[in-house]
Structure 1
């Protein structure tokens, strides 16, 4: 099995419209969580969100898509991040159309970001809008396939909040198995009434910027984002600039509850162990953990329990959802990008809003920017509804 190398990155989140903007705001400890300006909802004036700071119309104009039909906000965010990633990896049109190039994307919301229009179309209250084919989770993937003439294997994953982490894992497996020499992986989700109302019904949305791993945490903030990574086999990457290596991955399910993790963290512990095993390293080799860290009472307690069971000495960790909000199907890819930035710059970014660390565990998240801190291996966790837990090990090259 050959090495799986990361040669391109693209990201758009509430803290930046590209990779460099995201990096600078992570360094400066600047959150993107605030009142929404573009998301139309009863809760837009009541709750904070991790909203991308661009109107959909502006985003479409930036991408030259203002006259294209059927592009939802989810599709637009996907195109923005995808274009940055392939440009960063210097992929040509021929590279993209090669049968050796695959695309594995992820989403939970898909075109349901147009919740009201979906309702009108589904209940025959319209004559059929331009978005009839755009509501599914795979709609953005199909747009990318058509726009960039991708002819190789393509897939869309929806495993809730672990979706794009699973896309990365599948992409790495395709390369290791010799089924593809290059895979563009990632995910996208946008804010939607559908998800906001659902999470609100679960009573896990905070009225303040979320504070993952704080003793007094009271919920999460929903966000939106798109993030893609270009994975290439060592042979194909050649002498390209390489950011990092996808070393290991693990996926497990604790089969405990539709929305809560099991008290003994069965799925979380197993996914972390499998990721370390496929990477061929011991827990002591991990220099930094990018935690799932949603800011809900259940998640943070159970994740810290699982980490403390696996590590004799817990390495520095943070939750970058305190910057971007919980971006659902995009979260795993966004946090993989953040992890790679930590590797590249030898920095660990501060976890925001923590005043009183969880008292049961004597392990506070990083509170300030840790500079000149060698990061050789990162463990990145993404835990989804239904107990679908995924962990990635990303290494320095």
Structure 2
């Protein structure tokens, strides 16, 4: 099979509007979780969020959009990260439009970030707004396909919180099997009343900055972000710079509960096993785990149990959701970018806000930034509602 290399990355999140800003915030232990400035909701003044600092107007300026009619915040965030990724990978317009280039994106809320507008349009309370074509899950994907004249295979994935991790997995499989030479993969989600109200009804939103793997954790913070990676077959990369290799991946579903993982960690264990086995390594080769780590009672306990059953000694791990909040469909790609930054620079980013480490399994999340150890392999976990669990293994090539 062909080796799959990461040659470009683009990201916008609560801790930066580009790759370098995100990396600087991770190194400095600077969280982006705070009160929302742009999100219009009764909860904006009550709960903390991982909101991107850019307003829609600022995003339009950065993208030089002459006509932004019908663009949702989801579309804008996706376009911003996508543009950075293809520039970082030095892709030409012809390469982007080639039938050998696939594009796989992911989201959960999509254009439904305009929840009130959707309600008005759906109930015929308007004569038809500019957003009528923006509400589907694939709307942002279609817009990028049209704007960049993408002709190759394209798809949009919604498997909840593992969505963009599955986009990365699918892109890698297309390249390995010879069905594509390159794939632009990732995902996006923006803050929305639709998701905030839904998560609030589950009573898993914290009123404080989330503290994954803390004994007294009490829930997650919702965030928004977009992140894309350019994957290319090794034989077309040539002399181009590459960050890392997508060495392995695994996906499983424990089919246990619509919004909780099985207490036996069935899906989590299976996805991690498949990822490490497909990378052709043993678990003792993993140097760092970017955990799913939502900060909820169920997730952190189950994930830690799964790791304890697979590793003889759990390696350094942390949850970068303590920086960005839980970005839902974008989380897998965001944390893939962060995992790659870890192995490229030999850095372990601290889990923030942990005051009393969880007592179970005798393992503690990294509490301080570290750059003292060579990192060759990183494991990134993304576990979604409905039990859809995906794990990715990235290998250093430096």
Q: TM-score, normalised by structure 2?
A: 0.99
Q: Report the Cα distance in structure 2 between the residues aligned to 1:197 and 1:153, rounded to whole angstroms.
A: 35
Look up the match of 1:221: 221
Partner of 1:132: 132
Counterpart for residue 239 of structure 2: 239
Give the root-mean-square deviation of aligned CA atoms. Answer: 0.6
The aligned runs of 1:181-330 (5 Å cut-off) are 181-330=181-330
Rounded Cα–Cα distance in structure 2 between residues aligned with 1:335 and 1:374: 19
Moved over 6 A (4+): none
Distance, in Å, in 2 between the alignment partners of 1:6 and 1:97 is 19
Q: Distance in 1 between matches of 2:157 and 2:61?
A: 28
1:66 Cα offset (Å): 5.2
* Equivalent in the alignment of 1:51: 51
| Cα pair 1:57 1:66 within 8 Å, conserved | no
Gaps in structure 2 of 5+ consecutive residues: none
1: CA distance between counterparts of 2:263 and 2:371?
35
Distance apart, 1:67 and its partner CA: 2.3
Counterpart Cα distance in 2 of 1:360 and 1:290: 19
Pairwise CA distance, 1:229: 0.2
Residue 101 of structure 1 corresponds to 101
Q: Give the alignment's TM-score, normalised by structure 1.
A: 0.99
- 1:68 deviates by 2.3
Which segment drifts farther, 387-396 or 363-372? 363-372
Secondary structure in 2 matching 1:42: coil
> Contact 1:215–1:358 (CA<8 Å) still a contact in 2?
yes
CA distance in 2, matches of 1:66, 1:159: 34
Alignment of 1:374 onto 2:374 = yes
**How many pairs align?**
397
Instruction: Find the aligned partners of 1:394 and 1:297 in 2 and give their Cα distance.
Output: 28
Residue 361 of structure 2 aligns to a residue whose secondary structure is coil
Structure 1: state its 5+ residue gaps.
none
SS of corresponding position for 1:187: strand
Give, in whole Å, the separation in 2 of the partners of 1:360 and 1:230: 38
Partner of 2:41: 41
Q: Does the residue aligned with 2:228 lie in a helix, a strand or coil?
A: strand
Deviation track 1:335-355 (CA, whole Å, cap 9, x = no partner) reads 000001001111101110001
Give the 3-state SS of the residue equivalent to 1:129 in structure 2. Answer: coil
Partner of 2:170: 170
Deviations 1:307-339 (A, max 9, x none): 000000100000000000000000000000000
- The alpha carbon displacement at 1:361 in A equals 2.2
More moved, 214-223 vs 359-368 = 359-368
| SS of 1:48 mapped into structure 2 | coil
- Aligned residue number for residue 153 of structure 2: 153
* Shift in Å, 1:60: 1.2
- Contact 1:106/1:157 (<8 A) preserved: yes
